[in-house]
Amino acid sequence: MELCSIASGSSGNCIYVGTESGHILIDAGVSGKRIEEGLNSIGLKTAEMQGILVTHEHIDHVAGLGVLARRYGIPIYATKGTIEAVKRMSSVGKVDESLFQPIESEQEICIGDMSIEPIEISHDAAEPVAYKVRQGKKTAAVMTDLGFYDERIVQKLQNVDALLLEANHDVRMLEMGPYPYPLKQRILGNRGHLSNENCGRLLSEILHDDFKAVVLGHLSKENNYPQLAYETVRVEVDMGENPYRADDFPMHVAKRDQASCRIAF
């Protein structure tokens, strides 16, 4: 099984997850050209993708969706709320109705040899979800765009082997930065984004002996730095009430504008 960030950040997100016989994208939030180039850089073709799983309708998750759907006829999996929101977006354009495949949170679907579970999250969007992908005994998850986490989220992430987890912002940078006050409150709120500190705290609660790697993703361009996210999450893990330390497993930071963090397990 393999997980690779094609692009991840506040300006666009697209994550590849696949096996020998199954290939999917989670979100298509950068241009179709960039997605194609990213897939090509890891030896894959866009035409091989068997589905695009959309987390929610914000433009940094669907910017390239219409292009890929029209060019390759790739099925689009999303909740009914997300599908309806996407259909109203002029930037996505006209998409063949038959390509939309409605899903429900907590209800698994199968693509290739992978079982995929949509996980309800708290974000200011229309019925947003994260995704957990399983093949045999191997499991990966992509968990971004959540304002907070609770015991339900912790339970859903128990025993995952590889995880792309949101480390969106440094709270102090956000509070002192140029964003208007309402936007700051939105990001910090329960339907906003996970801070570096909360990313580390969530990670601390789901570590286990066979954990393979974590990728920190969806970093804000204005309110975070890759090294700051990396060091802050490491500190939270080291301080957490668990037997693990940050040196016990690989930690990567996804790049905003190119494929990175290819993890095979």
Q: Could you read off the pLDDT of 232-254 as tens digits, one per residue?
A: 999 999 999 999 999 999 999 99
Q: What token pair was written down for 165?
A: 């987890």
Say which CATH number the domain at 191 has.
3.60.15.10
Q: What is the number of domains present in the chain?
A: 1
State the pLDDT at residue 38: 98
Q: What token pair was written down for 151?
A: 């015991």
Q: What is the mean pLDDT of the chain?
A: 97
Within 13 Å of residue 164, how many CA atoms lie on the same side as its CB?
32
How far is Cα 112 from Cα 100, in angstroms, rounded to an integer?
Answer: 18
Looking at this protein, which amino acid is placed at residue 212? K
Residue 100's pLDDT band, with cuts at 50, 70 and 90, is very high
State the pLDDT at residue 44: 97
State the pLDDT at residue 119: 98
Please check whether residue 213 is in contact with residue 141, taking contact to mean a CB–CB distance below 8 angstroms: no
State the pLDDT at residue 146: 96
Tell me the angle at which helices 196-206 and 226-239 cross, rounded to the nearest 10 degrees: 40
How far is Cα 8 from Cα 222, in angstroms, rounded to an integer?
Answer: 14
Question: How large is the average pLDDT for residues 123-142?
Answer: 98
Residue 221's pLDDT band, with cuts at 50, 70 and 90, is very high
Q: What token pair was written down for 187?
A: 């990001």
Q: What token pair was written down for 80?
A: 């009914």
Question: How large is the average pLDDT for residues 99-117?
Answer: 97
How far is Cα 249 from Cα 7, in angstroms, rounded to an integer?
Answer: 22
Answer with the residue of higher pLDDT: 46 or 261: 46
State the pLDDT at residue 222: 96
Q: Which residues, including other chains, have CB under 8 Å from residue 159's CB and lie 6 or more apart?
A: 139, 208, 210
Question: How large is the average pLDDT for residues 143-170?
Answer: 98
State the pLDDT at residue 79: 98
Looking at this protein, which amino acid is placed at residue 93? G
Question: How large is the average pLDDT for residues 110-132?
Answer: 98
Query: In which domain, by residue range, is 160 found?
Result: 2-264
Question: How large is the average pLDDT for residues 64-70?
Answer: 98
Question: How large is the average pLDDT for residues 58-77?
Answer: 98
